[in-house]
A and B are shown apart, each in its own frame.
Chain A
Amino acid sequence: MKIIVAIKQVPARDSQLRIAPSAKWIAEDDLTYEINEPDAYALEEGLQLKEKHGGEVVALCAGPPRAAQTIREALAKGADRAIHIEEEDMGAFDPLGAAKLLAAALRSESPDLILTGLQSDDLGYGQTGVILAELLGLPHATIIMKVEKRDGGILVKRELEDGWFQHVEMPLPALLTIQSGASKLRYATLMGIKKAKTKEIRRLRAAELGAAAGSPSITIERIYLPQRTKQTQLFEGSPKEAAAKLVEKLKFEARVI
Chain B
Amino acid sequence: MSILAVLEHSGSAWHRMSWETLAAAQQIARELDTTASAAFVRPGGHGFADELARKQLEKVYLVDHELLNGYTPDGYAIALRQLIDRAAPRLVLFSHTYQVRDFLPKLATSLGKVAVTDVVAHRVDNGQVVLVRQLFQGKVNVDVRFAADGPNFASLQAGAYRADRVADGSAAVEVVRPQLSAGEIRTKPLELFRESQRAVDLTAAEIIVSVGRGIKESDNLPLVQKLADVLGAELAASRPICDAGWLPMERQVGSSGQTVAPKMYMAIGISGAIQHLVGMKGSRIIVAINKDPNAPIFEVADYGIVGDLFQVVPELIDAIQKSK
Contact = CB atoms under 8 A, between A and B. Distances in A.
Contacts of A181: 239-240, 242-244
B27 interface: no
Contacts of B285: 250, 254, 256
**A: contact size bracket:** 35 or more
Contact of B113 (A15, A217, A244): A217
B122 to A, nearest CB: 12
Nearest to B292: A14
A219 B292 CA distance: 30
Interface in B185-216: 186-195, 198, 207
B117 interface: yes
Interface string A245-257: 0111111001011
Interface residues of B, number: 93
B305 A235 contact: yes
A122 B135 contact: yes
B176 interface: no
Interface in A203-240: 215-226, 228-230, 232-236, 239-240
A49 B315 CA distance: 48
B303 A250 contact: yes
Nearest to A159: B256
A141 B102 contact: yes
Nearest to B312: A239
B118 interface: yes
B218 interface: no
A243 B289 CA distance: 10
A222 B257 CA distance: 33
Contact of A235 (B114, B243, B303, B314): B303
Contact of B207 (A130, A161, A256): A256
A139 B309 CA distance: 45
Interface string B295-324: 010111111111110011011101110010
